[in-house]
Amino acid sequence: MTLSCVALGLDHRHIFGMTENMKKAGVSCTGYWTQGNPSSLSGFTKRFPDIPRLDGLKDALNCGADLALISAIPSERADLSIQAMQHGMDVMTDKPGCTTLDQLDQIRKAVSDTGRIWSVNFSERFETPVSTKATELVAAGAIGKVVQTIGLGPHRLNRATRPSWFFQRDRYGGILTDIASHQIDQFLHYSGSDTAEIVHAFVANHANPANPGLQDFGEINLRSANASGYIRVDWYTPDALPNWGDGRLTILGTEGYIELRKYVDVGGAEGTDHLILVNADTCKKVHAADAGLPYFSRLAEDIQNRTDTAMEQAHCFTVMDLALRAQEMAETQ
């Protein structure tokens, strides 16, 4: 069985990786639809010149594809996801998968009613081979029982290239809903937690007073039955850094620790996907760029077999629920 996908909304560059990785997993892309001409459109057509633009959303929804790839404006992703599921498609959406708790409730109902898969591409885990390697090491007991994670998600603002919706709170969803959903996903995944309590949540605009709708700093403290987690996200990446952000994750276990330097190793080795492992027998840095990205092929298999191996549906719902509730807590306390 050959699977096909359609892209709905090209408002964020994450659609590039979503499309490319599904193509590598053997899924063909039959076309794309997007509202207007977002800034990422030219990059998409350059990378995928063979993918045609469809005349309208109705045509895209009725194209017969198995999977919808959604990277529209964040506040519009829930409605597109629901429409796609109602038209018989499974869904992979860019994060955040939705921007309100009401939207999440509607998505839950659509999944229940249609039996389709709703998957959020948490790319800071699913598109970094070093995260795959860390998963293998944690599962093998390399650092004992995981008791804490520290997730850092700094990003470059790139003000000049940002669309207007990027600075509008109701459209992008807030910094914790958006960026911190990555780190919540990683906390639950590596600690083996089904859910967590939000102990503390905070957002601020420290450096961009001309854009009051932008939150440029956020933090969360989480606690589950077996672990705790700290998350910090921001839009402060300095110009001298060679990429968009020095994203890191530290996983603390009872018998050692792992640090992921995903995108850059400042002052160290070149390239990406650097892993530090320290335990009773090992103290070394591992280059993990060849560890693979199993999420995409597993999702393709889940679509074919109606299984739940790429990411459990309950996990996906829980991540977004926690991100939205942390955002709400930070803005109302």
Which stretches of the chain drop beneath a pLDDT of 50? none
217-272 residue pLDDT tens: 999 999 999 999 999 999 999 999 999 999 999 999 999 999 999 999 999 999 99
pTM exceeding 0.95: yes
Specify the pLDDT at position 326: 98
Bridge partners of 252, per DSSP, are: 148, 257
Question: For residues 96 and 99, what is the distance between their CA atoms, to the nearest angstrom?
Answer: 7
Q: Which CATH class is domain 125-287?
A: alpha beta
Specify the pLDDT at position 96: 98
> Looking at domain 4-121, does it have CATH number 3.40.50.720?
yes
Specify the pLDDT at position 1: 72
Q: Cα separations (Å) of 232 from 23, 130, 141, 328?
A: 33, 20, 27, 16
> Strand, helix or coil at 219?
strand
Question: For residues 118 and 121, what is the distance between their CA atoms, to the nearest angstrom?
Answer: 10
Domain residue limits, the chain:
4-121, 125-287
